[in-house]
Amino acid sequence: MTRRKIAAGNWKMHGTSADLAELGKLIEETKGAAAEVLVCPPATLIARFAEQARGSHVAIGGQDCHPEAKGAHTGDIAAEMLADAGATHVIVGHSERRADHHEPDALIRAKAEAAWRAGLLAIVCVGETEAERDAGRAREIVALQLQGSVPDRAEAESLVVAYEPVWAIGTGRTPTTDDIAAMHAFIRDELKTRFGPPMAEATRVLYGGSVKPGNAEEIFAVTDVDGGLVGGASLKATDFSQIVAAAG
Ligand code: PGA
Protein backbone atom coordinates (compact mmCIF):
# COMPACT_ATOMS: atom_id res chain seq x y z
CA MET A 1 0.00 0.00 0.00
CA THR A 2 1.50 3.33 -0.94
CA ARG A 3 0.29 6.23 1.10
CA ARG A 4 1.01 9.64 -0.39
CA LYS A 5 2.97 11.70 2.10
CA ILE A 6 1.67 15.01 3.41
CA ALA A 7 3.65 18.06 4.46
CA ALA A 8 1.22 20.13 6.53
CA GLY A 9 2.09 23.56 7.88
CA ASN A 10 0.34 24.76 11.02
CA TRP A 11 0.84 28.51 11.27
CA LYS A 12 -0.86 28.71 14.68
CA MET A 13 -1.44 32.37 15.71
CA HIS A 14 1.02 33.78 13.20
CA GLY A 15 0.42 35.67 9.99
CA THR A 16 -1.24 38.75 8.53
CA SER A 17 -1.93 39.87 4.98
CA ALA A 18 1.77 40.72 4.71
CA ASP A 19 2.42 36.96 4.59
CA LEU A 20 0.48 36.35 1.37
CA ALA A 21 3.81 36.73 -0.42
CA GLU A 22 5.23 33.86 1.64
CA LEU A 23 2.43 31.60 0.38
CA GLY A 24 3.14 32.70 -3.19
CA LYS A 25 6.78 31.79 -2.71
CA LEU A 26 5.86 28.40 -1.26
CA ILE A 27 3.61 27.62 -4.23
CA GLU A 28 6.50 28.47 -6.58
CA GLU A 29 9.15 26.59 -4.63
CA THR A 30 7.14 23.37 -4.22
CA LYS A 31 5.85 23.06 -7.79
CA GLY A 32 5.93 19.43 -8.88
CA ALA A 33 6.30 18.15 -5.30
CA ALA A 34 5.52 14.47 -4.84
CA ALA A 35 3.96 15.06 -1.44
CA GLU A 36 0.65 16.75 -0.74
CA VAL A 37 1.23 20.27 0.56
CA LEU A 38 -1.14 21.84 3.07
CA VAL A 39 -1.00 25.21 4.80
CA CYS A 40 -3.25 25.95 7.80
CA PRO A 41 -3.09 29.72 8.41
CA PRO A 42 -5.09 31.57 11.07
CA ALA A 43 -8.79 31.77 10.24
CA THR A 44 -8.51 35.42 9.20
CA LEU A 45 -6.31 34.42 6.26
CA ILE A 46 -8.03 31.26 5.02
CA ALA A 47 -10.15 32.91 2.33
CA ARG A 48 -7.27 34.95 0.92
CA PHE A 49 -4.86 32.02 1.08
CA ALA A 50 -7.40 29.78 -0.64
CA GLU A 51 -7.89 32.41 -3.32
CA GLN A 52 -4.15 32.67 -3.90
CA ALA A 53 -3.65 28.89 -3.91
CA ARG A 54 -6.61 28.19 -6.21
CA GLY A 55 -5.59 25.99 -9.12
CA SER A 56 -2.23 25.18 -7.51
CA HIS A 57 -1.07 22.01 -5.76
CA VAL A 58 -1.23 23.67 -2.31
CA ALA A 59 -4.29 22.98 -0.15
CA ILE A 60 -5.51 25.29 2.61
CA GLY A 61 -6.87 24.16 5.97
CA GLY A 62 -8.26 25.44 9.25
CA GLN A 63 -6.67 24.95 12.67
CA ASP A 64 -9.90 24.16 14.53
CA CYS A 65 -13.67 24.12 14.08
CA HIS A 66 -16.83 24.11 16.20
CA PRO A 67 -18.86 20.90 16.23
CA GLU A 68 -22.08 22.66 15.22
CA ALA A 69 -22.90 24.11 11.80
CA LYS A 70 -24.19 27.42 13.21
CA GLY A 71 -25.47 28.95 16.41
CA ALA A 72 -24.86 31.31 19.29
CA HIS A 73 -21.15 30.59 19.79
CA THR A 74 -19.32 33.90 19.84
CA GLY A 75 -15.88 33.69 18.34
CA ASP A 76 -16.22 30.14 17.03
CA ILE A 77 -16.07 29.00 13.42
CA ALA A 78 -18.08 26.15 11.90
CA ALA A 79 -16.50 23.57 9.62
CA GLU A 80 -19.00 24.68 6.96
CA MET A 81 -17.58 28.21 7.22
CA LEU A 82 -14.05 26.92 6.73
CA ALA A 83 -15.20 25.02 3.65
CA ASP A 84 -17.00 28.11 2.38
CA ALA A 85 -13.78 30.11 2.80
CA GLY A 86 -11.93 27.58 0.63
CA ALA A 87 -10.45 25.18 3.19
CA THR A 88 -10.33 21.48 2.38
CA HIS A 89 -8.78 20.26 5.64
CA VAL A 90 -9.03 21.07 9.34
CA ILE A 91 -6.80 20.22 12.30
CA VAL A 92 -8.73 19.07 15.38
CA GLY A 93 -7.47 18.20 18.85
CA HIS A 94 -4.11 19.94 18.60
CA SER A 95 -2.41 19.72 22.00
CA GLU A 96 -2.46 23.51 22.31
CA ARG A 97 -6.25 23.43 22.05
CA ARG A 98 -6.46 20.41 24.36
CA ALA A 99 -4.39 22.38 26.92
CA ASP A 100 -5.39 26.04 26.37
CA HIS A 101 -9.10 25.37 25.84
CA HIS A 102 -9.46 22.20 27.92
CA GLU A 103 -10.79 20.28 24.95
CA PRO A 104 -11.74 16.72 25.88
CA ASP A 105 -11.65 13.77 23.48
CA ALA A 106 -15.45 13.73 23.06
CA LEU A 107 -15.40 17.32 21.80
CA ILE A 108 -12.57 16.56 19.39
CA ARG A 109 -14.52 13.56 18.10
CA ALA A 110 -17.52 15.86 17.49
CA LYS A 111 -15.26 18.30 15.66
CA ALA A 112 -13.96 15.52 13.40
CA GLU A 113 -17.58 14.56 12.65
CA ALA A 114 -18.29 18.23 11.87
CA ALA A 115 -15.33 18.32 9.50
CA TRP A 116 -16.73 15.35 7.57
CA ARG A 117 -20.23 16.82 7.56
CA ALA A 118 -18.71 19.86 5.84
CA GLY A 119 -16.70 17.75 3.40
CA LEU A 120 -13.34 18.51 5.00
CA LEU A 121 -10.52 16.09 5.73
CA ALA A 122 -9.93 15.92 9.50
CA ILE A 123 -6.40 15.86 10.92
CA VAL A 124 -6.83 14.44 14.44
CA CYS A 125 -3.87 15.14 16.75
CA VAL A 126 -2.74 12.90 19.58
CA GLY A 127 0.37 12.84 21.76
CA GLU A 128 1.64 12.42 25.27
CA THR A 129 3.16 15.00 27.61
CA GLU A 130 6.68 14.63 28.93
CA ALA A 131 5.41 13.56 32.37
CA GLU A 132 3.24 10.89 30.76
CA ARG A 133 6.18 9.58 28.72
CA ASP A 134 8.47 9.59 31.78
CA ALA A 135 5.83 7.62 33.66
CA GLY A 136 5.83 5.01 30.89
CA ARG A 137 2.29 5.93 29.88
CA ALA A 138 2.84 7.27 26.34
CA ARG A 139 1.09 4.40 24.54
CA GLU A 140 -1.76 4.27 27.02
CA ILE A 141 -2.40 8.01 26.58
CA VAL A 142 -2.21 7.88 22.79
CA ALA A 143 -4.53 4.85 22.71
CA LEU A 144 -7.07 6.64 24.89
CA GLN A 145 -6.89 9.77 22.73
CA LEU A 146 -7.38 7.72 19.56
CA GLN A 147 -10.32 5.84 21.04
CA GLY A 148 -11.91 9.03 22.30
CA SER A 149 -11.14 11.46 19.48
CA VAL A 150 -11.50 9.39 16.30
CA PRO A 151 -15.15 8.80 15.34
CA ASP A 152 -16.41 5.26 14.73
CA ARG A 153 -17.12 5.91 11.06
CA ALA A 154 -13.56 6.99 10.26
CA GLU A 155 -12.29 6.23 6.76
CA ALA A 156 -8.79 6.58 5.35
CA GLU A 157 -9.96 9.07 2.71
CA SER A 158 -11.17 11.63 5.23
CA LEU A 159 -8.92 11.04 8.25
CA VAL A 160 -5.29 11.83 8.95
CA VAL A 161 -3.80 11.13 12.37
CA ALA A 162 -0.98 13.37 13.62
CA TYR A 163 1.22 12.02 16.40
CA GLU A 164 2.71 15.01 18.21
CA PRO A 165 4.49 14.38 21.49
CA VAL A 166 3.67 17.55 23.45
CA TRP A 167 7.24 17.85 24.76
CA ALA A 168 8.60 17.99 21.21
CA ILE A 169 6.36 20.84 20.04
CA GLY A 170 8.27 24.10 19.63
CA THR A 171 11.13 22.85 21.79
CA GLY A 172 13.69 21.76 19.21
CA ARG A 173 13.64 18.31 20.83
CA THR A 174 12.46 15.24 18.95
CA PRO A 175 12.04 11.59 19.92
CA THR A 176 14.59 9.14 18.50
CA THR A 177 13.63 7.63 15.16
CA ASP A 178 13.19 4.31 17.00
CA ASP A 179 10.69 5.93 19.37
CA ILE A 180 8.84 7.53 16.46
CA ALA A 181 8.76 4.20 14.60
CA ALA A 182 7.45 2.40 17.67
CA MET A 183 4.65 4.90 18.30
CA HIS A 184 3.60 5.05 14.65
CA ALA A 185 3.48 1.24 14.46
CA PHE A 186 1.42 1.27 17.66
CA ILE A 187 -1.02 3.83 16.22
CA ARG A 188 -1.43 1.80 13.03
CA ASP A 189 -2.06 -1.32 15.14
CA GLU A 190 -4.70 0.50 17.14
CA LEU A 191 -6.40 1.57 13.88
CA LYS A 192 -6.16 -2.01 12.62
CA THR A 193 -7.84 -3.42 15.72
CA ARG A 194 -10.68 -0.93 15.56
CA PHE A 195 -11.20 -0.36 11.84
CA GLY A 196 -9.58 -3.36 10.16
CA PRO A 197 -6.37 -3.81 8.13
CA PRO A 198 -7.39 -2.06 4.87
CA MET A 199 -8.35 1.17 6.66
CA ALA A 200 -5.27 1.06 8.90
CA GLU A 201 -2.96 0.46 5.95
CA ALA A 202 -4.46 3.34 3.95
CA THR A 203 -4.64 5.98 6.70
CA ARG A 204 -1.87 8.56 6.81
CA VAL A 205 -0.16 9.05 10.20
CA LEU A 206 1.94 12.21 10.41
CA TYR A 207 4.66 13.03 12.90
CA GLY A 208 4.72 16.52 14.43
CA GLY A 209 7.03 18.27 16.88
CA SER A 210 10.16 20.24 15.93
CA VAL A 211 10.29 19.02 12.34
CA LYS A 212 12.91 21.17 10.58
CA PRO A 213 14.71 21.15 7.22
CA GLY A 214 17.63 19.46 8.99
CA ASN A 215 15.72 16.46 10.39
CA ALA A 216 12.73 16.07 8.06
CA GLU A 217 14.32 13.58 5.70
CA GLU A 218 15.37 11.29 8.54
CA ILE A 219 11.96 11.46 10.22
CA PHE A 220 9.96 10.98 7.01
CA ALA A 221 12.05 7.91 6.16
CA VAL A 222 10.81 6.16 9.32
CA THR A 223 8.42 3.26 8.62
CA ASP A 224 4.79 4.23 9.15
CA VAL A 225 5.54 7.99 9.07
CA ASP A 226 3.49 9.49 6.26
CA GLY A 227 4.74 13.06 6.48
CA GLY A 228 4.71 15.83 9.04
CA LEU A 229 2.64 18.45 10.79
CA VAL A 230 5.00 21.38 11.03
CA GLY A 231 4.65 24.48 13.18
CA GLY A 232 7.51 26.97 13.40
CA ALA A 233 9.38 25.74 10.33
CA SER A 234 6.30 26.14 8.11
CA LEU A 235 6.22 29.93 8.45
CA LYS A 236 9.08 30.58 6.05
CA ALA A 237 8.64 29.26 2.51
CA THR A 238 12.35 28.55 2.14
CA ASP A 239 12.28 26.24 5.20
CA PHE A 240 8.94 24.63 4.51
CA SER A 241 9.74 23.93 0.87
CA GLN A 242 12.79 21.93 2.00
CA ILE A 243 10.51 19.94 4.30
CA VAL A 244 8.07 19.38 1.43
CA ALA A 245 10.99 18.13 -0.70
CA ALA A 246 12.05 15.79 2.13
CA ALA A 247 8.55 14.28 2.06
CA GLY A 248 8.93 13.54 -1.65
P1 PGA B 1 6.57 22.80 15.86
O2 PGA B 1 4.98 22.60 16.05
O3 PGA B 1 6.91 22.26 14.50
O4 PGA B 1 6.78 24.27 15.98
O5 PGA B 1 7.23 22.01 16.94
C6 PGA B 1 4.34 21.45 15.58
C7 PGA B 1 2.86 21.53 15.86
O8 PGA B 1 2.46 21.98 16.95
O9 PGA B 1 2.05 21.13 15.01
Q: What is the pLDDT of residues 184-207, one digit of tens each?
A: 999 999 999 999 999 999 999 999
Q: What are phi and psi for residue 36, nearest 5 degrees?
A: -75, 140
pTM: 0.98
Distance 128 CA to ligand 1 centre (A): 14
Question: Can you state the angle between helices 138-149 and 105-117, rounded to 10 degrees?
Answer: 40
CB 20 within 8 A of CB 46: no
Mutate to test the pocket of ligand 1, among 13, 91, 210 (most ligand atoms within 8 A of CB): 210
Residue nearest to atom 6 of ligand 1 (CA): 231
Report which residue type is found at 195.
Answer: F
List, chain by chain if needed, residues with CB within 6 Å of any ligand 1 atom: 10, 164, 169-170, 208-211, 229-233
pLDDT of 11 reads: 98
Identify which of 230, 234, 239 to mutate to test ligand 1's pocket (most ligand atoms within 8 A of the CB). 230
Residue identifier of the C-alpha nearest atom 1 of ligand 1? 231
Average pLDDT, the chain: 98
Residue 246 pLDDT grade (very low, low, confident, very high; cuts 50, 70, 90): very high
The Cα–Cα gap between 186 and 181 comes to 8
pLDDT at 1 (0 to 100): 62
Q: Which ligand 1 atom sits nearest the alpha carbon of residue 168?
A: 5
- pLDDT of res. 2: 86
How many DSSP H helices and E strands does the chain contain?
A: 11, 8
What average pLDDT does the segment 9-19 reach? 97
Query: What atom of ligand 1 comes closest to residue 234's alpha carbon?
Result: 3
Nearest CA to ligand 1 atom 2: 231
Which pLDDT band holds residue 226 (cuts at 50, 70, 90)? Answer: very high
CA 111–ligand 1 middle distance (angstroms)? 21
Ligand 1 atom nearest 233 alpha carbon: 3
100: confidence class by pLDDT, cuts 50, 70, 90? very high
Cβ atoms of residues 239 and 212 within 8 Å: yes
Give percent of the chain with pLDDT exceeding 70: 100
Q: Of 46, 45, 51, 27, whose CA–CA distance to 37 is shortest?
A: 27
Model pLDDT for residues 117-167, shown as the tens digit of each residue: 999 999 999 999 999 999 999 999 999 999 999 999 999 999 999 999 999
**pLDDT for position 222:** 98
User: What are the tens digits of pLDDT across the range 36-78?
Assistant: 999 999 999 999 999 999 999 999 999 999 999 999 999 999 9
Region 204-222 average pLDDT: 98
Residue 178, helix vs strand vs coil = helix
Beta pairing partners, 72: none
Catalytic residues: 94, 164
User: Which atom of ligand 1 is the closest one to the Cα of 170?
Assistant: 5
Ligand 1: distance of its center to the CA of 167 in Å?
10
- Measured in angstroms, how far is the CA atom of residue 40 from the centroid of ligand 1? 12
